[in-house]
């Protein structure tokens, strides 16, 4: 093994632009460590293990994937345990959320960071397999002194990415050894095994998450098509792509010779854009047919063997009888599978006097949904909306419950009807219910369980029947645990809980945008249309403000546009007006930039798409502007995942 000193010297040489015999991914990662994360090779740092509470949070988020992938992980571990490998599954931030290893070496493994809770993000740990894999989105071997930090140069680590069904990198699978043969080629088999297991976990994830969709598996060869296909995608009842494995993304992109596309842009496209197939042909590809009957042609002329799995429950979309939603509810979704399923359940409860609790980030349309539920009722009556966070605490009681004449100094002489009574026979919408003071929660509970309200200072209660819809962007369960929300009220409210997806996860983004534009057109009398560049920038944005942010962005853009065409320039600055991005940070070493522009923030891909939009979608122009070659730009675009490490 090389000495720490010569290792440090080598990194310094490479950082100064010196030639290196190491693999390109290693050199690129070293340069990121020096130039982007400002790590110093001379400052060795031992592995970092996140605190237990943090680890619990990371594990909770990865729970579903770990459950789905468990048998694949165990099979892989059994294959390599003899050679003293340990297995780590890390999340997209590099934190190890699952670990399998020989407990005899627990102490050594923990010290080396090959353990549950260790964080292997590149900006913290320097060049390492998990971190380099998160950044590049590709399988990688980081062998011994390929590591940046000299405290890790004894390890050999092999990692492969696991993508979620929308094409985002969600986890990294890694197998590592404390000691290994000197030759890096010794890890080729490890690389193959890890990549194959990651592929299988992606397939299992796709199948388990798309129970009411068709799943189509594709391979160049008929062998193992059913269990280990090269590619897999899920399709709804209209033949639109609802999910993909990473191989599925590659197959779709290749079928259309697409290079500058991200996985998310392919979701929602019709399968007949890519293959000579119709949704009605899918049963033909179910297991049992002869190989030659399972050949499927891609639009670029290449051929695949195909095998389909029918939906466990009836597929969505017009091909099957889609449950008809009452008018008001049907305007809230344009084909997003989660929204459709949720609205179908909501519509069954809308007419009953059961409280409904709506969860969702700010601006996801909680009040819109509440109003739609109200309007879909047979005799809706009044709709009274109250934002519990907006009324000063000392006024909430009298506002909600009203008061009797002379209840307190300064009270109106004839008393006042509270908002609860005002909603009698209709719907009371309590927004931000988590902000309701504890003392009032018990009184609200009484309204719900006894059907009566007692105004402040009144001796008698009055009967009141209403539909209660409450909403919160906070986790009420957590507020209960912290003693800030009454448990009894919580259980009364949460029986029918619905969560609105954030805009960035909705699959009907384009249709939703068009609908909003149509509404703006009706209001303003124009007919605004999005240019391709503006559409790309909108798709690339993260939308922290959700539907509210989108609606406002479109209104502003329509007002600023020259005529009816909305160009990217008319969009608000944070959504990616060309030129709004910060200039590239100059690299220390005179090497081509090893990472896409914007990669130091969490929205690297978004920035790149904005750059591309600014170049009119022309990859060559963008490559010239960034000083890299076209294939580098294609690779960055193909990676299709926002950067995290
Ligand atoms: N279905 C929809 N169609 C069109 N626009 C919508 C829709 N839902 C929400 N919006 C837009 O988003 C804005 C916010 O919606 P709403 O007030 O329902 O969200 P919210 O989740 O209740 O927000 P908050 O958490 O801030 O109270 C609306 O004013 C409207 O501009």
Q: What is the pLDDT at residue 124?
A: 94
Residue 518 and residue 473 in one domain: no
Q: Average of pLDDT values for 123-132?
A: 96
Indicate whether 13 belongs to any domain. Answer: yes
Q: What is the pLDDT at residue 257?
A: 83
| Contact criterion met (CB below 8 Å) for 641 and 169 | yes
Indicate whether 391 belongs to any domain. Answer: yes
Residue 516 and residue 634 in one domain: yes
Atom of ligand 1 nearest to the CA of 431: 27
Residue nearest to atom 17 of ligand 1 (CA): 367
Neighbours of 113 (CB within 10 A): 24
- Asked if the model's pLDDT at residue 613 lies above 70, the reply is no
Residue 138 and residue 249 in one domain: no
Q: What is the pLDDT at residue 590?
A: 25
- Asked if the model's pLDDT at residue 251 lies above 60, the reply is yes
Residue nearest to atom 31 of ligand 1 (CA): 548
For the chain, how many structural domains are there in total?
Answer: 4
- Asked if the model's pLDDT at residue 465 lies above 70, the reply is yes
Residue nearest to atom 23 of ligand 1 (CA): 363
Q: What is the pLDDT at residue 623?
A: 64
**Domain's final residue, options 292, 309, 326:** 309
Q: Average of pLDDT values for 179-193?
A: 92
Q: 63-101 b/e with 16+ CB inside 10 Å = b? A: eebbebbeebbeebbebbeeeebbbbbbbbbbbbbbbbb
Supply the CATH number for residue 161's domain: 3.30.450.40
> Considering the chain, what percentage of its residues have pLDDT values greater than 70?
86
551 Cβ inside 6 Å of ligand 1: yes
Indicate whether 332 belongs to any domain. Answer: no
Neighbours of 493 (CB within 10 A): 25
Q: How far apart are CA 122 and CA 644, in angstroms?
A: 9
Indicate whether 452 belongs to any domain. Answer: yes
Residue 484 and residue 531 in one domain: no
Residue 409 and residue 467 in one domain: yes
- Asked if the model's pLDDT at residue 207 lies above 60, the reply is yes
Q: Which domain holds residue 625?
A: 505-639
Residue 219 and residue 356 in one domain: no
Residue 424 and residue 557 in one domain: no
Distance (Å) from CA 499 to ligand 1 centroid = 14
Rounded (10°) angle between helices 509-524 and 532-540: 120
359 Cβ inside 6 Å of ligand 1: no
Residue 170's contacts (CB-CB under 8 Å, 6 or more residues apart) are: 65, 91, 92, 162, 163, 164
Q: Ligand 1, residues 343, 363, 389, 515: which to mutate, most atoms within 8 A of Cβ? A: 363
**Domain's final residue, options 452, 476, 499:** 499
pLDDT band at 589 (very low <50, low <70, confident <90, very high): very low
607 Cβ inside 6 Å of ligand 1: no
Cβ-based burial of 474 (10 A; exposed 0-12, middle 13-18, buried ≥19): middle
Residue 165 and residue 279 in one domain: no
The reported pTM is 0.52
Indicate whether 327 belongs to any domain. Answer: no
The H helix count followed by the E strand count for the chain is: 23, 23
Residue 427 and residue 447 in one domain: yes
Supply the CATH number for residue 557's domain: 1.10.8.60
Closest listed residue to residue 399, CA positions, set 383, 409, 385, 413 = 385
Residue nearest to atom 12 of ligand 1 (CA): 548
**251-255, 371-375, 503-507, 611-615: the lowest-pLDDT one:** 611-615
Atom of ligand 1 nearest to the CA of 547: 12
Indicate whether 155 belongs to any domain. Answer: yes
Residue 326's contacts (CB-CB under 8 Å, 6 or more residues apart) are: 347, 350, 375, 376
368 Cβ inside 6 Å of ligand 1: yes
**pLDDT, averaged across the chain:** 84
Q: How far apart are CA 292 and CA 296, in angstroms?
A: 9
DSSP per residue, 421-463? HHTTTSEEEEETGGGS-HHHHHHHHHHHHHSEE--BT-SS-EE
**How do 462-463 and 529-530 pair as beta strands?**
unpaired
Residue 242 and residue 377 in one domain: no
The most confident of 299-308, 560-569, 636-645, by mean pLDDT: 299-308
Can you give the C-alpha Rg of the chain in angstroms?
28
Supply the CATH number for residue 495's domain: 3.40.50.300
**223-227, 350-354, 641-645: the lowest-pLDDT one:** 641-645
Closest listed residue to residue 390, CA positions, set 360, 355, 419 = 419
**Ramachandran region of residue 582, left (φ > 0), alpha (ψ -120 to 50) or beta?**
beta
Q: How far apart are CA 485 and CA 600, in angstroms?
A: 40
Residue 339's contacts (CB-CB under 8 Å, 6 or more residues apart) are: 332, 333, 500, 501, 506, 508
Indicate whether 326 belongs to any domain. Answer: no
Residue 345 and residue 460 in one domain: yes
Closest listed residue to residue 528, CA positions, set 536, 537, 519 = 519
């Amino acid at each position: 093994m090389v000495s720490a000193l010569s290792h440090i010297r080598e990194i310094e040489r490479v950082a100064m632009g010196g030639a290196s015999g190491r693999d390109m991914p290693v050199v690129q990662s070293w340069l990121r460590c020096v130039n982007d994360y400002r790590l110093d090779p001379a400052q060795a740092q031992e592995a970092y293990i996140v605190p237990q509470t943090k680890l619990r949070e990371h594990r909770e988020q990865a729970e579903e994937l770990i459950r789905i992938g468990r048998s694949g992980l165990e099979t892989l571990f059994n294959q390599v345990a003899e050679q003293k490998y340990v297995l780590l599954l890390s999340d997209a931030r590099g934190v190890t959320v699952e670990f399998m290893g020989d407990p005899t070496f627990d102490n050594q493994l923990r010290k080396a960071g090959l353990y549950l809770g260790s964080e292997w993000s590149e900006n913290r740990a320097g060049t390492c397999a998990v971190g380099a894999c998160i950044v590049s989105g590709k399988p990688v071997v980081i062998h011994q002194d390929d590591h940046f930090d000299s405290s890790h140069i004894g390890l050999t680590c092999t990692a492969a990415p696991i993508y979620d069904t929308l094409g985002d990198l969600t986890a990294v699978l890694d197998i590592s050894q404390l000691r290994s043969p000197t030759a890096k080629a010794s890890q080729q088999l490890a690389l193959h095994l890890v990549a194959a297991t990651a592929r299988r976990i992606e397939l299992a994830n796709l199948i388990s998450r798309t129970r009411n969709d068709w799943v189509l598996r594709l391979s160049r060869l008929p062998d193992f098509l059913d269990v280990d296909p090269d590619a897999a995608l899920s399709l709804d009842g209209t033949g639109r792509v609802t999910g993909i494995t990473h191989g599925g993304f590659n197959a779709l992109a290749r079928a259309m010779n697409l290079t500058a596309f991200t996985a998310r842009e392919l979701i929602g496209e019709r399968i007949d854009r890519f293959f000579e197939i119709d949704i009605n042909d899918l049963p033909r590809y179910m297991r049992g047919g002869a190989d030659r009957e399972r050949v499927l042609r891609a639009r670029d002329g290449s051929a695949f063997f195909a095998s389909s799995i029918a939906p466990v429950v009836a597929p969505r979309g017009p091909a099957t009888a889609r449950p008809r939603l009452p008018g008001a509810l049907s305007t809230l979704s344009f084909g997003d599978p989660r929204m459709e399923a949720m609205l179908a359940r909501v519509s069954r409860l809308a007419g009953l006097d059961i409280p409904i609790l709506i969860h969702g980030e700010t601006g996801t349309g909680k009040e819109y949904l509440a109003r739609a539920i109200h309007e879909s009722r047979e005799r809706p009556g009044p709709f009274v909306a109250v934002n519990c966070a907006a009324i000063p605490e000392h006024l909430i009681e009298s506002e909600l419950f009203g008061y009797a004449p002379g209840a307190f100094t300064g009270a109106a002489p004839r008393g006042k009807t509270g908002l609860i009574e005002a909603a009698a026979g209709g719907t009371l919408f309590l927004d931000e219910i988590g902000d309701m003071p504890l003392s009032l929660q018990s009184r609200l509970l009484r309204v719900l369980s006894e059907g009566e309200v007692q105004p402040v200072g009144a001796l008698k209660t009055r009967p009141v029947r209403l539909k209660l819809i409450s909403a919160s962007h906070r986790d009420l369960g957590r507020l209960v645990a912290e003693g800030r929300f009454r448990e009894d009220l919580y259980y009364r409210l949460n029986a029918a809980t619905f969560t609105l997806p954030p805009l960035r996860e909705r699959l009907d983004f384009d249709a939703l945008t068009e609908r909003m534009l149509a509404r703006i057109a009706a209001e303003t009398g124009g007919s605004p249309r999005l240019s391709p560049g503006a559409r790309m920038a909108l798709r690339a944005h993260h939308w922290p403000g959700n539907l509210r942010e989108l609606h406002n962005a479109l209104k502003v853009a329509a007002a600023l546009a020259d005529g009816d065409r909305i160009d990217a320039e008319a969009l608000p600055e944070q959504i990616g007006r060309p030129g709004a991005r910060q200039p590239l940070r100059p690299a220390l070493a005179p090497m081509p930039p090893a990472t896409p522009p914007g990669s130091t923030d969490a929205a690297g891909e978004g920035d790149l798409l904005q750059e591309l939009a600014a170049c009119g979608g022309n990859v060559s122009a963008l490559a010239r502007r960034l000083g890299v070659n076209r294939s580098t730009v294609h690779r960055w675009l193909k990676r299709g995942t926002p950067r995290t490490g």
